[in-house]
């Protein structure tokens, strides 16, 4: 139990430190370099904390640039941490000889989310070059595909079906009818997942394919370094030797004229050879201010597939699909419904909330419940909740059931009045952060036990009465729209 508490304390401290670094460094740098860090062991004897990254390259990069900042942050958070050691996650080191340009490794895999050889997993064939171009444009700094982000783990719904189908067509054996594919979606809606899934599927269909996945920012960094070291010819040759080019967050190439020009020439060269290109961004090509018109034309000449925010049905499906990973942990249906309705900004926050809830329950030995979700996910829930008021709920319910607004606070006990009042109490608990006593006061000064009874009754009726469940769903849609 002591070890579990220590792990919880470390995780809580790391969450605070990571949040602070995100504010200091910005979302992009944090997402690429800080977020992948995993906590390792902490030795109390010498005060050394292990921090792990998935590849030699990322560990070296973070160590060179952020080691002092990480060390200081940990020492402030925990005085008993005297040393911070940054290294590669055990078991994730790529074998020697798999570097770009080496004769024996020219068609082998160097993956940034898994060992270089992964029998039976999503990489399956294990026979592609995945990675960055290296600091000098010669070596292979492996920035590969996340093995968990495949088409199998991507849940589709009306919000993303076009992008999902287009992505699968891009990865198929047959030549796609459109090129390039441009995935447009707000943060956390699944565009990066689809990029990785395309890479995995294409690798399975083309075992000897050469794949390059990177962010637009990484592309610019590598290009600038190649310019400074007079390695642009090698950079271009290697970049245009890939069969599939996957570029994420293309909006960050804004205003970089030389990088834009190189990307433009690369697109033309790869398309001329029948290669495949996929780009992802948080806005449409036409909304990329500061991008040369010729590049905009290339980005939009194929198919622009939009991913809309996940609706309630898709959010439910994503949570249920994710739960398969946590068997035998039981998550009640009311918790799934609560998370799906409340965490609606993006899918990444939704999955992150579920992960945090289950991890806390497992580490503390508590059962997952609605109360535990409300206690442990306060920050996520408050950020997602639209400020729906109890007055708004009462007004909407009264209009729906055609009862007078004064009945919400009246003492009448006729069924035609009581049931709408109970539904309104239930919705007030689901959609607002108000406590039972606070809700009771808004309903004519009723005792909190009356509100608890109403909430439990409506929850039970929803499972047994299809009409009641339909009424509540309709009211939820109205209030959340």
- Mean pLDDT along residues 231-243: 85
Residues 255 and 376 occupy one common structural domain:
no
Provide the whole-model pTM: 0.57
Selection from 297, 301, 302, 272 nearest residue 166 by Cα: 302
Residues 294 and 367 occupy one common structural domain:
no
Which pLDDT does position 134 carry in this prediction? 40
What is the extent of the structural domain holding 331?
312-384
Q: Compute the distance between CA of residue 276 and CA of residue 88 in angstroms, rounded to an integer.
A: 32
Task: Count how many residues are written for the chain.
Answer: 481
Residues 170 and 220 occupy one common structural domain:
yes
Residues 170 and 36 occupy one common structural domain:
no
Sign, CA dihedral 306-311-313-319, equals positive
DSSP 252: G
Summarize pLDDT for 206-236 with one digit per residue, the tens. 888 889 888 887 788 788 788 888 888 888 8
Q: Is the per-residue pLDDT at 124 higher than 50? A: no
Average of per-residue pLDDT values in the chain: 81
Q: Is the per-residue pLDDT at 439 higher than 90? A: yes
Q: Tell whether 425 is covered by a domain.
A: yes
The domain total for the chain is 4
> End of a domain among 358, 384, 410?
384
109: confidence class by pLDDT, cuts 50, 70, 90 = very low
- Mean pLDDT along residues 477-481: 77
Residues 118 and 260 occupy one common structural domain:
yes
Residues 161 and 266 occupy one common structural domain:
yes
> What Å distances lie between residue 139 and 35, 65, 134, 142, CA to CA?
25, 20, 5, 9
Residues 260 and 198 occupy one common structural domain:
yes
Task: Give the distance from CA 308 to its chain's centroid.
Answer: 15
91: confidence class by pLDDT, cuts 50, 70, 90 = low
Which pLDDT does position 216 carry in this prediction? 84
Contacts of 417 (CB under 8 A, 6+ apart): 403, 407, 410
Pinpoint the alpha helices (H) of 247-376. Answer: 257-272, 293-300, 312-323, 333-342, 347-364, 370-376
CATH number, domain with residue 128: 3.40.50.300
Residues 227 and 301 occupy one common structural domain:
yes
170: confidence class by pLDDT, cuts 50, 70, 90 = very high
Which pLDDT does position 442 carry in this prediction? 93
Residues 128 and 235 occupy one common structural domain:
yes
240: confidence class by pLDDT, cuts 50, 70, 90 = confident
DSSP 30: I
Exposed/middle/buried for residue 197 (C-beta within 10 Å: 0-12, 13-18, 19+): buried
Read off φ and ψ for residue 403, nearest 5 degrees.
-120, 160
Q: Are 210 and 100 in contact (CB under 8 A)?
A: no
Sign, CA dihedral 103-107-109-112, equals positive
**pLDDT cut 90: percent of the chain above it:** 31
Q: Compute the distance between CA of residue 321 and CA of residue 331 in angstroms, rounded to an integer.
A: 12
Contacts of 40 (CB under 8 A, 6+ apart): 49, 50, 51, 52, 87
CATH number, domain with residue 353: 1.10.8.60
Which pLDDT does position 132 carry in this prediction? 41
Q: Tell whether 336 is covered by a domain.
A: yes
Q: Is the per-residue pLDDT at 96 higher than 80? A: no
Summarize pLDDT for 312-321 with one digit per residue, the tens. 899 999 999 9
Selection from 73, 81, 146 nearest residue 112 by Cα: 146
CATH number, domain with residue 16: 3.30.300.180
Residue 98's H or E segment, with its range, is none
Q: Compute the distance between CA of residue 292 and CA of residue 12 in angstroms, rounded to an integer.
A: 45
Q: Are 188 and 318 in contact (CB under 8 A)?
A: no
Which pLDDT does position 4 carry in this prediction? 66
51: confidence class by pLDDT, cuts 50, 70, 90 = very high
Two tokens at 307?
Answer: 């991913």
159: confidence class by pLDDT, cuts 50, 70, 90 = very high
CB neighbourhood size of 246 (10 A): 27
> What Å distances lie between residue 242 and 122, 235, 239, 265, 467, CA to CA?
20, 12, 6, 14, 57
Summarize pLDDT for 362-408 with one digit per residue, the tens. 888 889 998 898 888 887 877 676 678 899 999 999 999 999 999 99
Q: Are 446 and 409 in contact (CB under 8 A)?
A: no
Which pLDDT does position 425 carry in this prediction? 95
Residues 296 and 184 occupy one common structural domain:
yes
Summarize pLDDT for 283-311 with one digit per residue, the tens. 999 888 778 889 999 999 999 999 999 99
Contacts of 472 (CB under 8 A, 6+ apart): 423, 426, 427, 458, 462
Residues 58 and 183 occupy one common structural domain:
no
CATH number, domain with residue 451: 1.10.1750.10
Residues 76 and 107 occupy one common structural domain:
no
Selection from 124, 121, 200 nearest residue 167 by Cα: 200
Q: Compute the distance between CA of residue 238 and CA of residue 134 in angstroms, rounded to an integer.
A: 11
Pick from 15-19, 247-251, 335-339, 348-352: least confident: 15-19
Highest mean pLDDT among 150-154, 174-178, 351-355, 428-432: 150-154
Q: Compute the distance between CA of residue 476 and CA of residue 170 in angstroms, rounded to an integer.
A: 38
Q: Are 317 and 307 in contact (CB under 8 A)?
A: no
- Mean pLDDT along residues 196-208: 90
Which pLDDT does position 122 carry in this prediction? 27
């Amino acid at each position: 139990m002591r070890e579990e508490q220590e792990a919880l304390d470390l995780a809580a401290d790391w969450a605070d430190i990571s949040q602070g670094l995100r504010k200091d460094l910005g979302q992009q740098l944090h997402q690429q370099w800080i977020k992948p860090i995993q906590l390792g062991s902490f030795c109390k004897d010498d005060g050394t904390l292990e921090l792990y990254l998935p590849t030699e390259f990322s560990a070296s990069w973070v160590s060179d640039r952020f080691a002092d900042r990480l060390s200081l942050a940990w020492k402030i958070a925990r005085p008993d941490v005297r040393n911070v050691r940054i290294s590669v996650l055990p078991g994730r080191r790529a074998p020697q000889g798999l570097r770009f340009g080496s004769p024996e490794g020219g068609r082998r895999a160097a993956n940034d989310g898994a060992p270089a050889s992964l029998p039976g997993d999503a990489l399956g064939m294990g026979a592609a070059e995945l990675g960055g171009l290296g600091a000098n444009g010669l070596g292979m700094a492996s920035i590969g595909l996340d093995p968990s982000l495949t088409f199998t783990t991507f849940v589709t719904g009306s919000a993303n079906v076009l992008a999902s189908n287009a992505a699968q067509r891009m990865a198929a054996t047959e030549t796609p009818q459109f090129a390039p594919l441009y995935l447009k979606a707000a943060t956390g809606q699944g565009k990066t997942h689809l990029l990785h899934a395309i890479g995995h599927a294409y690798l399975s269909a083309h075992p000897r394919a050469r794949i390059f996945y990177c962010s637009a920012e990484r592309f610019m960094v590598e290009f600038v370094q190649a310019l400074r070291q007079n390695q642009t010819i090698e950079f271009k040759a290697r970049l245009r030797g890939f069969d599939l080019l996957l570029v994420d967050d293309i909006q960050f190439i804004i205003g970089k004229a030389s990088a834009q020009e190189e990307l433009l020439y690369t697109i033309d060269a790869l398309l001329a050879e029948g290669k495949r290109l996929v780009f992802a961004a948080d806005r449409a090509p036409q909304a990329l201010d500061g991008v040369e018109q010729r590049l905009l034309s290339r980005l939009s000449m194929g198919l622009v597939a939009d991913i809309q925010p996940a609706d309630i049905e898709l959010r439910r499906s994503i949570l249920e699909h994710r739960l398969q990973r946590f068997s035998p942990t039981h998550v009640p249906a009311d918790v799934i419904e609560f998370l799906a309705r409340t965490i609606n900004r993006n899918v990444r926050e939704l999955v992150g909330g579920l992960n945090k809830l289950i991890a806390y329950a497992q580490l503390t030995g508590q059962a997952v419940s609605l109360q535990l979700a409300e206690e442990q996910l306060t920050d996520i829930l408050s950020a997602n909740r639209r400020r729906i008021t109890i007055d708004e709920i009462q007004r909407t319910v009264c209009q729906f059931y055609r009862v007078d607004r004064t009945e919400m606070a009246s003492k009448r006990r006729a069924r035609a009045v009581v049931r709408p009042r109970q539904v309104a109490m239930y919705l007030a608990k689901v959609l607002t952060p108000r406590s039972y006593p606070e809700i009771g006061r808004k309903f004519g000064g009723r005792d909190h036990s009356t509100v608890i009874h109403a909430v439990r009754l409506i929850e039970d009726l929803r499972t047994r009465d299809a009409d009641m469940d339909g009424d509540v769903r309709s009211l939820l849609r109205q209030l959340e729209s």
